[in-house]
Homo-oligomer: A and B are copies of this chain.
Amino acid sequence: MDSNQPDLDLVFFAMADGTRRAVLQKLGEGPASVSDLSEPFDMALPPFMKHIKMLEKAKLITTRKVGRVRTCELNPDTYADLENWLHEQRRQWDSRYQKLDALLTQMKGASE
């Protein structure tokens, strides 16, 4: 896989968790600190940080630390790559099914 492409194993795995999806959703409102993000979850900071690190590893978010505050921000490019990948898959399937449909219609026409 091209190194500019997202690592789909990592991206899909990062999305396969309700807490991480909720963090992404919240970051859609704008950048936020780890402590603000963790607030709605009944979770200690170390396991919450594991979720943050997983999202960062998958390049779904970026983080930066200023003083003692780590701020997280959505990386919409990875998300767009994921959407485009899924869309491209479906486009290929649809095109195959359309060809099959056309063939069936043609066969039906020939048999009538």
Task: Please list the residues of chain A having a beta carbon within 8 angstroms of any beta carbon in chain B.
Answer: 8-13, 15-18, 21, 24-25, 28-30, 74, 76, 79-80, 82-83, 86-87, 89-90, 92-93, 96, 100
Contact = CB atoms under 8 A, between A and B. Distances in A.
User: Nearest 3 CB-CB pairs, A to B?
Assistant: A12-B16, A28-B93, A13-B16
Nearest to A83: B86
State how many copies of this chain the complex holds: 2
A36 B16 CA distance: 29
Contacts of A96: 28-30
A21 B28 CA distance: 27
Nearest to A100: B30
Nearest to A93: B28
A12 B13 contact: yes
B25 A89 contact: yes
Given A12-B16, A18-B9, A30-B96, A82 B86 contact: yes
